[in-house]
Amino acid sequence: MADPIVTEQAAKPTAPLQLAIVRQRYTPYGGAERFVSDAMQALQQVGVKLSLYTREWPGGDSIFQPVICNPFYLGSLWRDWSFGRAVCKAIGVHQPDLVQSHERIRCCDIFRAGDGLHRVWLAERRRHLSWLGKLSITLNPTHHFRLASENRLFASPRLKAVICISEMIRDEMLAHFPIDPAKLHVIYNAVDTARFSPDLREHRAAIFQRYGIPEAANLFVFIGSGFDRKGLAPAIEALAGLPDTTHLLVVGKDKRARRYEQLANQLCPGRVHFTGPQKDPRPFYGAADAFILPTLYDPLSNAVLEALACGLPVVTSFKCGAGEIVAAHAAGFLSDARDIPALSANMTRLLDPAARQQCADNARRAALTLSAEAMTSRLLDLYNGLLTDGR
């Protein structure tokens, strides 16, 4: 006869751990989502049950079990409020073991600060706005709601950890909130150094020919949409101070693109080339000699990481989180986002072939440290630690 204790134990298998991810607008290929993909797959392989709380489910990703939370809304304030309310209600019913949110909601255990701090973004915007623009921000209720959401999130006793995608974001949180530093975990996004590599240089001749760029030109590339925040106007103004043999390739979209084309024609006629949005940016990285992104505020910037992987020296701003990687590896130069003389000087430094090659070598070495394996390992350590503590 079997031992009754052994039989009883065998009849009670351990329930799988349940991890919920919250993302209002989810796409399997979005920048905010790609960083967790490998870690989620690894967790699934060890028996963790994954669910996704979102407004819409595009399909195509078998990792998650979707939970649709799509209440009616009008306007961005109502949209964010209603989604957060619906998600917290659903989480209260389902009771997952751990909740990681990419949105500013109170009912999460982990917050991934992919957008940085709204208060810092507003402060950077105000520095460069007219009094009328500043008044518009002050009177906009959406900004007040997002600021209040940040306050509630970081004061929540439920919050166990924050994934900071750069040291800049961690330091901003410590400066603005009385949060335990032990809760803040800096985990950089990974970059695919096989897809983005110096081998893309093979596209240079074709891109030059397509856009009428002189063969002997020194080419900077700007890749990003939302030209005001990304700093295209300062990049064009800085380019105007460089020799006529220096050109700029602009990849991305903006609803006011025509305004930037007019600025380029006025300051640098024939030297700024607009491609519009591109599904595959790799040939454009490969065509360039250096990368420029004087962004007003960017918690990390995947475009900078991709440029580093391609072996491109980078000119960016102090308020770009990826700039700390650039600086740590001497892979380019930083300045204030709107300091035109400093931007122009940094671009000029990269016209020297020896300096450019040294930065290019350093850029590639920096990117090689940002492997998917390293990122996944850190995420798994964080998740497993919190899940174990919660059990």
CATH number of domain containing 128: 3.40.50.2000
Whether residue 228 sits in one domain with residue 175: no
Whether residue 249 sits in one domain with residue 163: no
Note every long-range contact of 275-282, with CB atoms under 8 Å and residues 24 or more positions apart, other chains counting. Answer: 275/211, 275/249, 275/250, 275/251, 276/251, 276/252, 277/225, 277/251, 277/252, 277/253, 278/251, 281/223, 281/251, 281/306, 282/195, 282/196, 282/200, 282/203, 282/310
Q: Is the dihedral of CA 184, 185, 186, 188 positive or negative?
A: negative
| Residue 140, in any domain of the structure | yes
The residue segments making up the domain with residue 232 are 198-368
pLDDT band at 9 (very low <50, low <70, confident <90, very high): very low
Whether residue 287 sits in one domain with residue 164: no
Whether residue 350 sits in one domain with residue 300: yes
When divided into structural domains, the chain yields a total of 2
Whether residue 211 sits in one domain with residue 112: no
Q: Are 56 and 66 in contact (CB under 8 A)?
A: no
Whether residue 214 sits in one domain with residue 107: no
Closest CA relative to residue 293, chosen from 301, 281, 284, 283: 301
Whether residue 380 sits in one domain with residue 357: no
Whether 1 has a pLDDT exceeding 50, the answer reads no
Task: Identify each DSSP E strand in 261-313 by its residue range.
Answer: 272-276, 290-293
Q: What is the pLDDT of residue 270?
A: 96
Residue 151 token pair: 């306050």
**Which tens digit of pLDDT belongs to each residue from 287-343?**
999 999 999 999 999 999 999 999 999 999 999 999 999 999 999 999 999 999 999
> Would you report the helix, strand and coil content of the chain in percent, each value rounded to 5?
50, 15, 35
| Residue 3, in any domain of the structure | no
Collapsed DSSP state (helix, strand, coil) of residue 357: helix
Whether residue 220 sits in one domain with residue 125: no
Whether residue 334 sits in one domain with residue 204: yes
Whether residue 225 sits in one domain with residue 174: no
Q: What is the pLDDT of residue 379?
A: 84
Among the ranges given (14-18, 135-139, 279-283, 378-382), the one the predictor scored with the smallest mean pLDDT: 14-18
Whether residue 98 sits in one domain with residue 33: yes
| Residue 4, in any domain of the structure | no
**Which tens digit of pLDDT belongs to each residue from 41-90?**
777 777 778 888 999 887 766 778 889 999 999 999 999 999 999 999 99
The residues with which 293 forms a beta bridge, in sequence order, are 316
The helices-and-strands tally (H runs, E runs) of the chain is 17, 13
| Residue 64, in any domain of the structure | yes
